[in-house]
Amino acid sequence: MKLGINTYGKNAINLSKIIRHADHHEFRQISVSVQLTGDFDAVHTHGDNSTVLPTDTQKNTVYALAKEHFTGTIEEFGLHLAHFFVTRNPQISQARISIEEHSWQRMQFDGQAHTHAFTGGSTEKRTTVVTQNAEGPVVLSGLKDLLLLKTTDSGFENFIQDEYTVLKETADRILATQCEATWEYTATALDFEALFQQIRTSLLRTFSEHKSLSVQHTLYSIGEKILQEQEVVKEVSLIMPNKHHIPFNLEQFGLENKNEIFVATDAPFGYITGTVVRD
Amino acid sequence: MKLGINTYGKNAINLSKIIRHADHHEFRQISVSVQLTGDFDAVHTHGDNSTVLPTDTQKNTVYALAKEHFTGTIEEFGLHLAHFFVTRNPQISQARISIEEHSWQRMQFDGQAHTHAFTGGSTEKRTTVVTQNAEGPVVLSGLKDLLLLKTTDSGFENFIQDEYTVLKETADRILATQCEATWEYTATALDFEALFQQIRTSLLRTFSEHKSLSVQHTLYSIGEKILQEQEVVKEVSLIMPNKHHIPFNLEQFGLENKNEIFVATDAPFGYITGTVVRD
Amino acid sequence: MKLGINTYGKNAINLSKIIRHADHHEFRQISVSVQLTGDFDAVHTHGDNSTVLPTDTQKNTVYALAKEHFTGTIEEFGLHLAHFFVTRNPQISQARISIEEHSWQRMQFDGQAHTHAFTGGSTEKRTTVVTQNAEGPVVLSGLKDLLLLKTTDSGFENFIQDEYTVLKETADRILATQCEATWEYTATALDFEALFQQIRTSLLRTFSEHKSLSVQHTLYSIGEKILQEQEVVKEVSLIMPNKHHIPFNLEQFGLENKNEIFVATDAPFGYITGTVVRD
Amino acid sequence: MKLGINTYGKNAINLSKIIRHADHHEFRQISVSVQLTGDFDAVHTHGDNSTVLPTDTQKNTVYALAKEHFTGTIEEFGLHLAHFFVTRNPQISQARISIEEHSWQRMQFDGQAHTHAFTGGSTEKRTTVVTQNAEGPVVLSGLKDLLLLKTTDSGFENFIQDEYTVLKETADRILATQCEATWEYTATALDFEALFQQIRTSLLRTFSEHKSLSVQHTLYSIGEKILQEQEVVKEVSLIMPNKHHIPFNLEQFGLENKNEIFVATDAPFGYITGTVVRD
């Protein structure tokens, strides 16, 4: 027997930071996960811990480095952390830093932005995964748990009919999804903030404007648009579960359901994933 | 032995509705729970179901009535449902309709509101509980899972010191909470939409402006403000768990933590509740 | 304006303990919540914290007292904690200690109990709520998240039929629930361990043997049985949501469903609660 | 632009089944997910649905086939489903069937097994993933969310010390994990039931007996043991998050903590994964 693929690290390092400016505060909240890969055979086979950087130390390192180095985007902080772990530890061949950022919105009153009060609570998280090994760092950025819904311009027709088909074809249905998007950059010295905002807007705009013939059709359309607009993006991966809203059968009560009353269900759900790449 | 307090009904009736206007769509998503109380002794003691309106029928009724009657606020729909169940079923002495509404935001592009595409995903829900019995209907409105945070203007000092005291006094800490607010109206023919917006703004504004000496201090201040501003509100109840952000000990690594790097924790958490009433 | 009902404390104090015996270890894991009530008007209205025992101190107290006093049942530990908080703090009129215990099962190999290895992971928790005020302590015990299911001896017939009725009457259905039971004791010097085991067995046995005509019918039967058997129990409250398993329509595919294939659903669900009391 | 890796299907198909024997009932509850891969470029790029087997139809197929074919292990049902989807649909190059089984335990009274009443509620699920493509079917089996804990025979020492090291070395700590194990079989005509029980017992026994020098050390030991005992297992993958139980600092209150009182934490957590393979 021998050790195959393996990794270890600290997950769910929940860190928040106040960045104090002269006339206002920024507030940032992230969850960092560190995963290290390397020559750890003896750790597993003989309990030899001499090469183990404890996960507790990894956590402390994240908090300590956040003071000076978490000042901008999560991508920049991830790059710093990955570089730090790999260059300080020869036994580590790869560090993978995954960061999720929770969104906090500055409160607004009478059109004025408040200096230090915020509302949170969006399910949407901004994400990055920075992986650094001998070939250098690679940055993936993305978002997850973004709830999208449109009430028309979506249909699903002309699919296979067999003896287990019950679903009715429809030219007008609700399309809803809890979108997760990830895109890989071709470089690491980028304006990650501007790129994120542009790509997120592009995603929303394509979702809203697309005449959807299926979830797959919309998924591809979003990925294609992002690649067309952003030269520094190598490929786009999307996970778009189909959050079904099913017309409720009002006819059984003598009422007509003109595509207006729906049952929102959690399970089962369609699960659609795809990656759009360059030719 | 005999039957004491009891109730039954259908929970988590997840309903969505498209309201179609000439040039745009509204989209609404709610979760309705029905709880009925009445003379159900024989149901329990003898398995006599002749007085039981099945929970499946309650669910169907909610969907059927939504077509015509869920056109405005959740309070108005709740009032209609409570009245319907109580007046049609003499054995039911009280109907309690609880509704949570999920928020969906219309997408905006270049300052233009989209006609039929929405983003969702806020944890914040708008709530109502309508209870109708022989004394007539009572409406409670509220919100829940509203995440609030301020980075300053909050302290906690001068508390009891005993042999188990470890917490340091501080004049400047993060104050964060997952707020649940409920207020009771003195009438049922009200502009529930306008009132909700006013009360929610008042809550946010007080939270942001208050010089907080404790969670309790802020809680009371919010309740007091709402009662001062809204004559039709009888009392305000608030649940404000203390979502701790604890300064991370950077000193052990030779760094100074100028109130900037924090550990965000989920458990344990302070749990503060209070009701503010009129004299 | 003035302060109405209010309370505060620390929730989710997650504590585990190894009790070391000569030849084996016990392992216990609990979650404790402390809620204090008293004269806290000035805390709310003026930010006067001089009467506040911080929730952080409450937490420390629970850990410190666990060393000597958490050696038996959660009821005994709860009684000790409630007494401690009330008698040391004149401003506290009532302490409410709520404890949930997670179950860990000692591993067994070849009929032998292991001395120090355990499996966990049951959703079922054992619970207690001890409330102490000027009238002395009151102990409620219970369990929650106990999943129960029977494949027959359960029906639902002869209920009200109206224009929204779709549900078919059935003499043979699956009965499943996620049971929460709470019972109030008439005394505090009891063998809480033996009583819990007897009452839990009685609950399971009644559920399994009862010819159920409705969830309500089974609920009452369980409460009645516990009161008949245990003189020291004053009343029994049960929450028994109906975890529906709905026959799947196989007929549409030319197959017969002889009450064998079901869709297990989470929402919506029937929600049945009741208290059985002595005459 | 072009379509890269993609897949679609129905997830969370929650199905329960009563298997009726002459003198007792079996009850089974599973959640099935279907993921299909194939030539679906036109679906994405042109909205051509002519090759799409709708996820709703996939769901119906699972329920319909369960009547006749879900009579034994989840592995056998998975093999049947994967074969069915691939052989009926030339455009599908691969079907991946993932099944989780919820455990239900038959109630016991006075040493007698009840014929039709069950308790559920374990977090532990038995799992399988059956993948069928042109190279034939492959079966992975496993379990997840199995909570394991030992109160001694576990240490963590001799790890790297750097300027961010705070963790103290210890020769005696609690080892706890929420174990996920997956193993790949080299064949498909196996007694999956017997194998599962043997492998699960082996996992538990190794966990309990191993003198653990780290989570990695125990992980490898478990994988090695399974491979030694089971010739039909090709490799074993384990995910063993470190569910920390951290000694509470009682010394600050003048008490000694003889490794007895712990804080159970959820975040952050160590995350350890590894695969053990044959030479």
Cα D47 → chain centroid: 36
Q: Helix, strand, coil % (nearest 5) of chain B?
A: 25, 45, 30
Per the CB < 8 A criterion, the answer to whether A110 and A45 are in contact is no
Active centre residues of B (catalytic):
10, 55, 244
User: B112 burial class (0-12, 13-18, 19+ CB within 10 angstroms)?
Assistant: exposed
| In-domain check, residue B176 | yes
Looking at C81, C102, C134, the residue that finishes a domain is C134
Quote the pLDDT of residue B112.
Answer: 97
Quick one: B162 and B257 in the same domain? Answer: yes
Quote the pLDDT of residue A128.
Answer: 98
Per the CB < 8 A criterion, the answer to whether D164 and A64 are in contact is yes
| In-domain check, residue C139 | no
CB neighbours of C93 closer than 8 A, spacing ≥ 6? C37, C38, C39, C86, C133, C134
CB neighbours of A189 closer than 8 A, spacing ≥ 6? none
D12 vs A72: CA distance, rounded Å? 39
Quick one: A205 and A263 in the same domain? Answer: yes
Quick one: D120 and D216 in the same domain? Answer: no
D48 vs C246: CA distance, rounded Å? 35
Mean pLDDT value of segment B116-122: 96
Quick one: B254 and B171 in the same domain? Answer: yes
| In-domain check, residue A8 | no
Mean pLDDT value of segment B267-273: 98
Looking at C134, C156, C171, the residue that finishes a domain is C134
Q: Which chain C residues contact residue A267 at CB under 8 A?
A: 265-266
Quick one: B161 and B92 in the same domain? Answer: no
| In-domain check, residue D100 | yes
A106 vs B244: CA distance, rounded Å? 19
Looking at C81, C115, C134, the residue that finishes a domain is C134
Structure tokens at A168: 């009715």
* A17 catalytically annotated: no
Run of H or E residues at A117: strand A112-119
C13-51: pLDDT as tens digits: 999 999 999 999 999 999 999 999 999 999 999 999 999
Chains touching C (3+ CB pairs < 8 Å) = A, B, D
Confidence band for A206, pLDDT divided at 50, 70 and 90:
very high
Q: Exposure string (b/e) for A235-248, b if CB count within 10 Å is 16 or more?
A: bbbbbbbbbbbebb
Q: What residue has token string 């026994």?
A: D205
Nearest to C117 among D14, D201, D208 (CB): D208
Please give the torsion angle defined by the CA atoms of residues B179, B107, A213 and D43, in that order, rounded to the nearest 10 degrees.
Answer: -80
Per the CB < 8 A criterion, the answer to whether A88 and A38 are in contact is no
C195 vs C141: CA distance, rounded Å? 10
Q: Which chain A residues contact residue B258 at CB under 8 A?
A: 20
The SS3 of residue C9 is strand
Would you say C115 is a known binding-site residue? no
Q: What residue has token string 């200690």?
A: C97
Per the CB < 8 A criterion, the answer to whether B219 and B238 are in contact is yes
C104 vs C97: CA distance, rounded Å? 22
What is the least distance, in Å, from the CA of C196 to any CA of chain D?
Answer: 16
| In-domain check, residue D264 | yes
Above 90 in pLDDT, residue B16? Answer: yes
Run of H or E residues at A93: strand A92-102
Indicate the pairing of strand A175-185 with strand A261-264.
Answer: unpaired
The SS3 of residue A239 is strand
Quick one: C192 and C111 in the same domain? Answer: no
Would you say B27 is a known binding-site residue? no
The SS3 of residue C122 is strand
What is the least distance, in Å, from the CA of A211 to any CA of chain D?
Answer: 10
Strand partners, B33: B98
Taken in order D38, D43, D45, D46, the sign of the CA dihedral is positive
| ipTM score over 0.90, yes or no | yes
What does the mean pLDDT of chain D come to? Answer: 98
* C69 catalytically annotated: no
Quick one: C258 and C160 in the same domain? Answer: yes
What is the percent of chain D where pLDDT is above 90? 100
**Which one is catalytic: A55, A188, A206, A275?**
A55
Structure tokens at B28: 């609404």
Quick one: C61 and C35 in the same domain? Answer: yes
A79 vs A95: CA distance, rounded Å? 10
B230-244: pLDDT as tens digits: 999 999 999 999 999
B195-229: pLDDT as tens digits: 999 999 999 999 999 999 999 999 999 999 999 99
Mean pLDDT value of segment B58-78: 98
What is the least distance, in Å, from the CA of D210 to any CA of chain C?
Answer: 11
A97 vs A79: CA distance, rounded Å? 8
Residues in chain D: 279
Please give the torsion angle defined by the CA atoms of residues C223, C229, C230 and C234, in that order, rounded to the nearest 10 degrees.
Answer: 40
Q: Where are the beta strands (DSSP E) in chain C?
A: 2-11, 13-20, 25-38, 92-102, 105-109, 112-119, 125-133, 136-150, 175-185, 233-239, 245-247, 261-264, 269-277
Nearest to C49 among B156, B224, B275 (CB): B156
Quick one: C130 and C148 in the same domain? Answer: no
C54 vs B243: CA distance, rounded Å? 14
Chains touching A (3+ CB pairs < 8 Å) = B, C, D
Confidence band for A121, pLDDT divided at 50, 70 and 90:
confident
Could D275 and A3 be called an inter-chain contact, meaning their C-beta atoms sit closer than 8 Å?
Answer: yes
CATH assignment at residue A111: 3.10.270.10
B144 vs B127: CA distance, rounded Å? 7
Q: Which chain D residues contact residue B163 at CB under 8 A?
A: 253-254
Would you say A55 is a known binding-site residue? yes
Would you say B216 is a known binding-site residue? yes
CB neighbours of A142 closer than 8 A, spacing ≥ 6? A126, A127, A128, A180, A181, A182, A183
What's the distance, Cα to Cα, between the start and end of chain C in Å? 42
Above 90 in pLDDT, residue D160? Answer: yes
Quick one: B269 and B154 in the same domain? Answer: yes
* Region at A98 (left for phi over 0; alpha for psi -120 to 50; beta for the rest): beta
Q: How many domains does chain C have?
A: 2
Enumerate long-range contacts of D77-83, CB under 8 Å, 24 or more apart.
D77/D30, D78/D128, D78/D129, D78/D130, D78/D139, D79/D130, D79/D132, D79/D137, D79/D139, D79/D188, D81/D32, D81/D34, D81/D130, D82/D130, D82/D131, D82/D132, D82/D137, D83/D132, D83/D137
Distances (CA, A) of D152 to A55, B186, C20, D223: 20, 61, 10, 21
Nearest to A14 among D164, D267, D279 (CB): D267
With CA atoms as reference, report the closest residue to D169 among D178, D159, D179.
D159
Quick one: D82 and D203 in the same domain? Answer: no
| In-domain check, residue A49 | yes
| A and B: number of Cβ contacts within 8 A | 169
Could D150 and C116 be called an inter-chain contact, meaning their C-beta atoms sit closer than 8 Å?
Answer: yes
Omega of the bond prior to C90 within 30 degrees of 0, cis? Answer: no
Enumerate long-range contacts of B131-137, CB under 8 Å, 24 or more apart.
B131/B82, B131/B94, B131/B95, B131/B96, B131/B97, B132/B79, B132/B82, B132/B83, B132/B86, B132/B94, B132/B95, B133/B37, B133/B86, B133/B93, B133/B94, B133/B95, B134/B93, B136/B188, B137/B79, B137/B82, B137/B83, B137/B188
Run of H or E residues at A137: strand A136-150
Residue type, B109: F
Question: How many C-beta neighbours within 10 Å does residue C46 have?
Answer: 11
Residue type, B169: E
Nearest to B49 among C9, C158, C165 (CB): C158
Residue D238 φ then ψ, to 5°: -130, 140
Q: What residue has token string 């969006």?
A: A122
**Which one is catalytic: C37, C55, C188, C275?**
C55
D140 vs D127: CA distance, rounded Å? 8
Ranges in chain C, pLDDT < 70: none
A212-223: pLDDT as tens digits: 999 999 999 999
Indicate the pairing of strand A112-119 with strand C112-119.
Answer: unpaired
Quick one: D264 and D151 in the same domain? Answer: yes
What is the least distance, in Å, from the CA of B114 to any CA of chain D?
Answer: 24
D230-267: pLDDT as tens digits: 999 999 999 999 999 999 999 999 999 999 999 999 99
Run of H or E residues at C206: helix C192-209
Query: Nearest residue on chain C to D263, judged by CA atoms?
Result: C15
| In-domain check, residue D8 | no
| In-domain check, residue A3 | no
Q: Which domain holds residue A210?
A: 145-277
Residue A9 φ then ψ, to 5°: 170, -170
Nearest to A164 among C163, C166, C253 (CB): C253
User: A267 burial class (0-12, 13-18, 19+ CB within 10 angstroms)?
Assistant: middle
Could B163 and D252 be called an inter-chain contact, meaning their C-beta atoms sit closer than 8 Å?
Answer: no
CB neighbours of C267 closer than 8 A, spacing ≥ 6? A265, A266, B11, B12, B13, B14
